[in-house]
Chain A
Amino acid sequence: MANVSITVNGKLRTADVEPRLLLVHFLREQLNLTGTHVGCDTSQCGACTVLVDGRSAKSCTIFAVQADGSEVTTIEGLAAGDGQLHPLQDGFWEEHGLQCGYCTPGMIMSAVDLLNNNPSPSEREIREGLDGNFCRCTGYQHIVNAVQHAANKG
């Protein structure tokens, strides 16, 4: 076992974990943060995307021990906590950026990284920024609209 200390959504979480425990399972099963989804489990679909030290990352392809000492932000950590949605969550709500919702947390976390690097992306830049996230329902157009909505409000 290995001891890890990871700041998740602003709160320091300490645990003894097997080194082979994936970050996504640490989040979902040990911290009960089930907003981060497991999709393909092969680093392609992006459903498990979280921010590690401010950068988007696929938590199915990171061992929790690698994130020791890091700051992790999940979908649960985005809203301010006063009932106010994060601008991207609001954008997905307003622009109908989801149907089944499975990909949505990962889409939003990727979009957070995108807008951090590029607050006013073009449509093409949004599509490139979401290259690592698959959606099997929407055909992506409303997701792009949702990110534009958030960018315009930011």
Chain B
Amino acid sequence: MIPSAFEYERATSVDDALAKLAATGATGKFIAGGHSLVPLMKFRLNEPTTLIDIARIPGLAGVRDVDGAIEVGAGTVHHDVATSSLLRQQCPVVAETAGTIGDPQVRNRGTLGGSLAHADPAADYPAVMLAVDAEIHLRSSRGPRVVPASDFFQDLFTVDLAPDEIITAVRFAPVRAAAYAKLYQRASRFAIVGVAAALDVADGVIRSARVGLTGAVSHAVRLTAVEEALAGRQPTSEVVAEAAQLAGSDLEDVAGDIHASETYRRAMVPVFAKRALDGALARLPQR
């Protein structure tokens, strides 16, 4: 399949990328790995006049410690997130989630920023970004802007990202007691249902929980009923099993398609919420 014709430019810096995008009068698009965009262009669902390649902008890729927080550059490919020793040690849920995306070839090319900007309703990253309460760092000619993940995902393929903005990085406080559980669509490896759960436990009590869901509705959402049911309780498998029962009960417009009916998806949301929460429990320090 051959996309519509377009012009191609390579950006050397974030500022250069923003300037080149502005010069297209909002008809251009950034491309990094292109693993969401190129398939859309081949189907001619998206026909940018210009592609501005941001894949080699220095500093846009990489996982780093910033004053105790972890920052992942938007240009970091999934493979490098999945194998990051910093993430594996301090916030393994993010690395593990990256390792479930697509397949090895897709993980070698696709980037964190591209996945977040595209916001496929069945993408994996959005759920874990909600669970770790990530900040999404954006830039435009107007300056930087930071959006919490819980405000970023708005609707089907729709995020809080202006046409003249670029995602530069995500940043989050590392959380060890967190896990991602996913019902795979067997061919594409997208999530039919994916749940990421993170627990903040002190003195034997769950102070707060954050649970992100992807795959079931138009965009990733937090399962606040589960989070509220866990707060103040003891971190036991009985408590999380009870809380997980609430997962998805208040969701409207759950998706049904050839991969899974609405009924099946609804049934799987609490199942995978429980698995994610059990995974998070298993990471708590043994007492």
Contacts and interface: CB of A to CB of B under 8 A. Distances in A.
Interface residues of B, number: 30
A30 interface: no
A41 B43 CA distance: 11
Contacts of A132: 102-106
B1 A20 contact: no
Interface residues on A, range: 20 to 34
B189 interface: yes
A18 B188 CA distance: 29
Interface of B: 1-8, 10, 31, 34-35, 38-39, 41-42, 51, 53, 55, 79, 102-106, 108-109, 187-189
Say whether chain A's binding surface is mostly helix, strand, loop, or mixed.
mixed
Interface stretch (A51-59, A78-86, A89-97, A139-147): A51-59
Interface string A26-54: 00000000000000011110100100100
Given A66-B34, A66-B55, A19 B109 contact: no
Contacts of B34: 61-63, 66
Interface in A96-142: 110, 113-114, 128-129, 131-133
B222 to A, nearest CB: 30
A65 interface: yes
A12 interface: no
18 contacts: A19-B8, A20-B6, A20-B41, A22-B2, A41-B1, A42-B39, A43-B35, A43-B106, A44-B188, A49-B105, A56-B108, A61-B38, A63-B38, A128-B104, A129-B104, A131-B103, A132-B103, A132-B105
A58 B102 CA distance: 12
Contacts of A15: none
A52 to B, nearest CB: 8
B104 A113 contact: yes
A51 B8 CA distance: 23
Contacts of A63: 8, 34, 38, 51
The 9 nearest A-B residue pairs measured at CB? A132-B103, A19-B8, A55-B108, A131-B103, A132-B105, A65-B8, A58-B105, A56-B105, A61-B38
